[in-house]
C-alpha cells in the first residue's frame, strides 16, 4: 500500500475495506507507509483480520506470556503489553499525521476510544474506559469497567501514528487465557457476539472504520 499525496488541508482518512491479512507483512507495510509519507500524504485506516498471533509491545514482560503453544509470538514496536489477534477480530490500523491535525497523543487515543464505544453502543452494548488502562471495556455496575472488549496500542514516528485498535467481535477467546491480557493477570476478555449474538463481521468492520474516521474529523 503506497502513500498517495494530496494538496491542501487534510481530508477525511481513507478507509480501506476489511480483509484478511497476515500480521508481519501488514506491520511491514505500515512501517513503509509511515516512512514514505510526506506532509501531504492522505491519512488512512486499514481494517484487517489476522490469523492467530500473540504480539508483544516494546515494553512487554515475558512473564505475561504463559503458554503460547502453536500460536506464533511476534515482538513489535507498538506501545502496550501482550495481546492476541485472531479470526473474528476487527483490527483497525490508523495511519494518521497527528501534527497536521494538531492532535496530541492523548486526544488521538481518546478519539479511538470514543469511536469504539460509539460503534459498540450502536450494536446495543454499553462500553466505557478504564482509568490508567487504555482500551475499551464493558460497562459494569455503576459505570465501572468490566470485561475488556477492545485493545489499543499505537506507535508514533515523526508525528505520525501506526498500529491501532483491535475490537473483539466473534472470536475463540481461549487464547486470551494463555496470557495476561495487556499485562493484567486475570483480566476478563469478551467479544461482541457474547453480548448480542451473531454479528456480521464485514458490516461491523465497515461501520467501525466510518466511526473512527468521523471521530478523528470531530477533533479538527
Task: Tell me what pLDDT residue 152 has.
Answer: 95
Q: Give the tens place of pLDDT for each residue, 152-200.
A: 999 999 999 999 999 999 999 999 999 998 888 888 999 999 999 999 9
CA–CA dist 185, 183 (Å, integer): 6
* Active-site residue (options: 48, 92, 167, 182): 182
| 182 among known catalytic residues | yes
Task: Tell me what pLDDT residue 5 has.
Answer: 44
pLDDT above 90 covers a percentage of the chain that reads 78
Q: Give the tens place of pLDDT for each residue, 24-54.
A: 999 999 999 999 999 999 999 999 999 999 9
Task: Tell me what pLDDT residue 143 has.
Answer: 61
Entry pTM = 0.93
Sheet holding 44-49, edge to edge: 14-20, 44-49, 89-95, 160-168, 145-157, 136-139, 127-128
CA–CA dist 103, 181 (Å, integer): 28
Average pLDDT over residues 118-122: 97
Amino acid at each position: 500500500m503506497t502513500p498517495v499525496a494530496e494538496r491542501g488541508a487534510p481530508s477525511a482518512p481513507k478507509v480501506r475495506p476489511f480483509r484478511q491479512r497476515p500480521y508481519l507483512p501488514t506491520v511491514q507495510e505500515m512501517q513503509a507507509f509511515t516512512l514514505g509519507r510526506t506532509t501531504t500524504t492522505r491519512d488512512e485506516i486499514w481494517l484487517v483480520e489476522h490469523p492467530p498471533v500473540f504480539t508483544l509491545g516494546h515494553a512487554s514482560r515475558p512473564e505475561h506470556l504463559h503458554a503460547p503453544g502453536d500460536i506464533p509470538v511476534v515482538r513489535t514496536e507498538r506501545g502496550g503489553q501482550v495481546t492476541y489477534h485472531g479470526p473474528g477480530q476487527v483490527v483497525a490500523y490508523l495511519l494518521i499525521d497527528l501534527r497536521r491535525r494538531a492532535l496530541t497523543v492523548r486526544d488521538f487515543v481518546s478519539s479511538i476510544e470514543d469511536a469504539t464505544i460509539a460503534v459498540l453502543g450502536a450494536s446495543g452494548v454499553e462500553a466505557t474506559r478504564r482509568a490508567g488502562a487504555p482500551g475499551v471495556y464493558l460497562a459494569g455496575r455503576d459505570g465501572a469497567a468490566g470485561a475488556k472488549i477492545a485493545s489499543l496500542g499505537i506507535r508514533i514516528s515523526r508525528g505520525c501514528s501506526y498500529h491501532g485498535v483491535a475490537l473483539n467481535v466473534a472470536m475463540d477467546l481461549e487464547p486470551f487465557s494463555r496470557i495476561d491480557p495487556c499485562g493484567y493477570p486475570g483480566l476478563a476478555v469478551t467479544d461482541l457476539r457474547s453480548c448480542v449474538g451473531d454479528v456480521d463481521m464485514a458490516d461491523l468492520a465497515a461501520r467501525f472504520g466510518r466511526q473512527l474516521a468521523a471521530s478523528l474529523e470531530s477533533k479538527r
